[in-house]
Amino acid sequence: MDNLRVELGERSYDIIIRNGSLNDLGEIALRSGLKGAAAVVTNPLVKRLYGTRATNSLKKAGFKPFFITIPDGERYKNLKSLSVIFDELIAKRGERTTPIIALGGGVIGDLAGFAAATYLRGVPFVQVPTTLLSQVDSSVGGKTGVNHPRGKNLIGAFYQPRVVVIDPEVLKTLAPRELKAGFAEVAKYGVIWDEKFFSFLEEKVAEILTLGSSVTEAIRTSCEIKASVVGSDERESGLRAILNFGHTFGHAIEANAGYGRVKHGEAVAIGMCMAADMAESSGFCKKGVLSRIEGLLKAAGLPVVSKIRISPKDYLKALRIDKKVSAGRLRFVLPTRLGAVDIAEVSEAKITEFFRKKTERKR
Instruction: Answer whether 159's CB lies under 8 Å from 241's CB.
Output: no
226, 263, 324, 331: the active-site residue: 226
Q: Is 356 among the catalytic positions? A: no
User: Residue 133 interacts with ligand NAD (CB under 6 A)?
Assistant: yes
- Which entry of 162, 188, 247, 331 is annotated as an active-site residue? 247
Which C-beta is closer to ligand NAD: that of 192 or that of 346? 192
List the one residue out of 216, 302, 316, 318 whose CA is nearest residue 267.
302
Task: For residue 148, indicate whether it is catalytic.
Answer: no
Contact indicator for 73, 260 with CB cutoff of 8 Å: yes
**Is the CB of 118 or the CB of 282 nearer to ligand NAD?**
118
Cβ proximity to ligand NAD: between 237 and 309 the closer is 237
Assign residue 216 a region: left if phi > 0, alpha if psi is -120 to 50, beta otherwise? alpha
Work out whether 143 is an interface residue with ligand NAD (CB under 6 A): yes
Residue nearest to ligand NAD (CB): 106
Going from the C-alpha of 276 to that of each of 257, 272, 289, the distances in angstroms are: 22, 6, 7
Whether residue 133 contacts residue 151, with contact meaning beta carbons closer than 8 Å, is answered with: no
- 124 versus 161: smaller Cβ distance to ligand NAD: 161
Q: Does 130 bind ligand NAD (CB under 6 A)?
A: yes
| Residues paired with 341 in a beta bridge | 335
Ordered alpha helix ranges (H), 233-347:
247-257, 264-281, 289-299, 312-321
CB of 311 to ligand NAD, least distance (A): 24
The residues that are catalytic are 121, 143, 185, 226, 236, 240, 244, 247, 251, 264
Q: Which residues bind ligand NAD (CB under 6 A)?
A: 43, 45-46, 49, 72, 74, 77, 104-108, 110, 130-131, 133-134, 137-138, 141, 143, 152-153, 170, 173-174, 178, 181, 264
